[in-house]
Amino acid sequence: MKLASSQGLIDKINQRKAVVGVIGLGYVGLPLVLEFCKAGFSVIGFDIDIKKVEMLHQAKSYIKHLDVSALQGATKFRATTDFSELIDVDCILICVPTPLNRNREPDLSYVFNTTLVIAKYLRQGQLISLESTTYPGTTDEDMLEILDKSGLHAGEDYFLAYSPEREDPNNHDFSTATIPKIVGGFTPKCLSVANALYSSIVKETVPVSSTKIAEAAKLLENIYRSVNIALVNELKMLFDKMGIDIWEVINAAKTKPFGFMPFYPGPGLGGHCIPIDPFYLTWKARQYDMTTKFIELAGEINVSMPYYVVHRLMEALNEKGKSLKGSKILILGLAYKKDIDDIRESPSLKLMEILMEKGADVSYNDPYIPKIPKMRMYNIEKSSVELTADTLSNADCVLISTDHTVYSPEFIAKHAPLIVDTRNVMKGINNRENIMKA
């Protein structure tokens, strides 16, 4: 059998004749679809969710910060649930979830099941690139084994790569096209093909020597943030006892022009990356008879934060002569960070679960999340309540979990009888008798 030509595929990419397939049309996959369409490629989006496919065909976005109007009438884009069309694709990008199970162990079923489907339709000359965050060895060990069972061989018949996503939803300073993109290939030919593809949509690529390096770099990025957030979370708990405002401490420290980078405390970690990625490496480390004590300690601190917030809330109620059981708690913000509609791993969900388990009457307001969808770990049937003076005044305690910019600190302070603030939203309010930081 004649070996696949890497230059042949590179030429197709450079001439915009390569068909790009994106599997998983969520927060990672959909921005890629938009960039490849903008660059002039023919793009096929694959997803098991028929609702997403139908909305994209109508050029309607199901992600608040992404404008898909460019897809209206697009002749070079279509979305489908029919994975047999993978055989017509030249470059396949995998953007599926890599969550943790209830034991906080990696769940790679989405990646491996997707790889099995790709293997079924794999043909010579294709590029397969994984974008999902995972542990080192997923691409060139686990996926390679599945794909090579097709009878084709990576680096010879098809090209295998790993290029981690670096999405930050609703970041106005950086976008998919302007964030430097790490690219690792199974072989030099694999790298050259993948680098050519990504270079067509991003301003800068960062080629590395292997897929393992690329996988490890992604983990390092998020472990770095996890560890530093855990540090300030731990300091917040200590400084609370000492009567010291952690937010003022951070603002003072960050005036140093070198050697310090500010990280901020909160009610816990949210989003798909920071709460999850460190545990992928700790799990993989056990195969090498090692324990990652530093990373695991940071994870324990961050996971404990919702419980700390509830403890502070109980203290606040106690000072008012009330118990948590039976109290009306209004949570402001369900998204894991401000001004987005993403609730993946949001600490607000954990807060809600703990409060309800303790007998509180819990409601929430989030202008971007009208109803809580059924999720892997949560099935909470609640809808967002309107944020009015009556809603605030009728609550025994208002818990600020997400600092959406639409929230007015003055309005909240005027009407809420008691406020527990986890995001320093109320910093500008002078009368702070009914405000507790947590």
Average pLDDT (351-366) is 98
In a domain, 12, yes or no: yes
Percentage of the chain beyond pLDDT 70 is: 98
159 and 282 inside one domain? no
Looking at the structure, tell me whether residues 200 and 283 fall in a common domain.
no
C-alpha 386/C-alpha 120 separation (Å) is: 49
Q: What is the structure's pLDDT at 269?
A: 82
Q: Is it the case that residue 1 has pLDDT exceeding 70?
A: no
Q: Are 236 and 275 contained in the same domain?
A: yes
Query: Rounded to an integer, what distance in angstroms lies between the CA atom of residue 274 and that of residue 267?
Result: 14
State whether 198 and 233 are in the same domain: no
Q: For residue 1, is it within any domain?
A: no
Sequence-separated (6 or more) residues with CB below 8 Å from residue 358: 310, 324, 325
Residue 272 pLDDT: 64
Say whether both 11 and 112 belong to one domain. yes
pLDDT of residue 116: 98
- Count of CB atoms within 10 A of residue 321's CB? 6
Residue 325 has pLDDT above 60, yes or no: yes
Residue 215 lies in a domain: no
Quick one: 243 and 171 in the same domain?
Answer: no
CA distances from 244 to 165, 210, 235, 240, 249 (A): 38, 47, 10, 6, 8
What CATH number is given to the structural domain containing 180?
A: 3.40.50.720
- Boundary (domain end) residue, out of 209, 233, 250: 209
With respect to residue 214, please indicate whether it lies within any of the assigned structural domains: no
166-170, 275-279, 425-429: least confident range: 275-279
Question: pLDDT-based confidence at 410, cuts 50/70/90?
Answer: very high
- Assigned domain for 306 exists: yes
In a domain, 392, yes or no: yes
Task: Tell me: do 143 and 24 sit in the same domain.
Answer: yes
In a domain, 98, yes or no: yes
Secondary structure class of 79 (helix, strand, coil):
strand
Domains in the chain, number: 2
Query: Do β-strands 397-400 and 361-365 pair in parallel, antiparallel, or remain unpaired?
Result: unpaired
Q: Is 216 inside a domain boundary?
A: no
Task: Specify whether the CB–CB gap between 438 and 313 falls below 8 A.
Answer: yes
Tell me the pLDDT band of 86, cut-offs 50, 70 and 90: very high
Rounded Cα distance, 333 and 123, in Å: 47
Residue 205 and residue 231 in one domain: no
> Are 15 and 74 in a shared domain?
yes
Q: Which of residues 209, 244, 264 is at a domain's end?
A: 209
Does residue 228 sit in helix, strand or coil?
helix
Range of the domain at 309: 225-437
Average confidence score pLDDT of the chain: 94
Q: Are residues 181 and 237 in the same domain?
A: no
More confident residue, 170 or 247: 247
Domain boundary among 179, 209, 239: 209
- The rounded distance, in Å, linking the Cα atoms of 403 and 147 is 45
176 and 269 inside one domain: no
| pLDDT digit string, tens, across residues 248-283 | 999 999 999 999 999 999 998 876 666 677 888 888
Active site residues: 273
Residues 132, 239 share a domain = no
Report the pLDDT averaged over residues 298-315.
95
